[in-house]
Homo-oligomer: A and B are copies of this chain.
Amino acid sequence: MAVYTAVDDAALEVFLADYDIGELLSAKGIAEGVENSNYLLRTTGGIFILTLYEQRVAVEDLPFFLGLLAHCAAKGFKAPEPVARRDGALLSTLCGRSAAIVTFLDGISTRRPSPTHCAEVGRGLAELHLATVDFPLRRANALGIDAWAPLFAASAEDADGVIPGMRAMVDEELTMLTECWPRTLPDGVIHADLFPDNVFFIGRALSGFIDFYFACNELLAYDIAICLNAWCFEDDGAFNVTKARALTLGYAARRPLSTAEVTALPILARGAALRFCLTRLHDWLRVPKNALVTPKDPAPYFERLRFHQRVRSPAEYGIELQD
């Protein structure tokens, strides 16, 4: 739930004078994303989203994020498109914060993905990976495998109090992942946070992706592994192989996977489950009093990690090795 910064109508008027988007008709704070303040603007020129970047987004990363969205738009990939100021800048300042305007993307996120939704997400993810092949900027994955051990070190002492047995299991997992991580798979720009909240549909058809603030250069198949975790487990924790098959086949239909990528899926899925388990554990142990945002429970991702540990073949994700 966002809107941390209240924007004064007079300040907004001054800010918008730098843009050529028509006369302002309406500005509503919207509850989207948890990192930034977002306003839906209606002008005589259309509908837009105004984002004020709060402290969790590093200002130095904004050219990468906004450049990536502009690149996607130029390639016809459906995502919010940055609107340049009259002077050409994509980034501006409002209420002492970095701020940008993007076009409004129609669509609704789904809380109960069907296999059809999963197939659409897989297809869209492959298209994102293809559309960004020639994106020139780079951003390291700040939450990639090398970050997991230090991240866990800060919470390890309290881990067993949250989930009994967690500390030893995560320590073992980190050792295994460090040894076996497939660092030579094809890489490129990944979304890295493609949860159902960040995918819009109109009816059953994908209308686009939003919230690229974790996007980075990383193994492309790791993005699929994140989606397997985010889209293919039921509320009761059960893995749904029909959804996983739809997702992986949807992806592979647009960007065929190499044997090495398919073979690596179980270990990548373990890594992805661990990454979300660790960041949630970190936030869970550091909830500020009077927090506006309820932290997410790390336990479901710990259970997903256990599931992936038992997987013996990528066929269990519904994808067969072609050869």
**A residues apposed to B, CB below 8 Å:** 1, 3, 8-10, 12, 23-32, 40, 42, 47, 104, 106-112, 200, 202-203, 289-292
Contact = CB atoms under 8 A, between A and B. Distances in A.
Contact of A30 (B31, B112, B203): B31
In the assembly, how many copies of this chain are there? 2
A292 B292 CA distance: 6
A203 B26 CA distance: 11
B106 A9 contact: no
Contacts of A47: 42
A21 B298 CA distance: 41
A144 B25 CA distance: 35
B108 A27 contact: yes
B110 A9 contact: yes
B290 A26 contact: no
Given A109-B9, A110-B9, A30 B27 contact: no
A24 B201 CA distance: 10
A104 B12 CA distance: 20
A11 B28 CA distance: 24
A63 B89 CA distance: 50
A111 B10 CA distance: 8
B31 A28 contact: yes
A25 B207 CA distance: 9
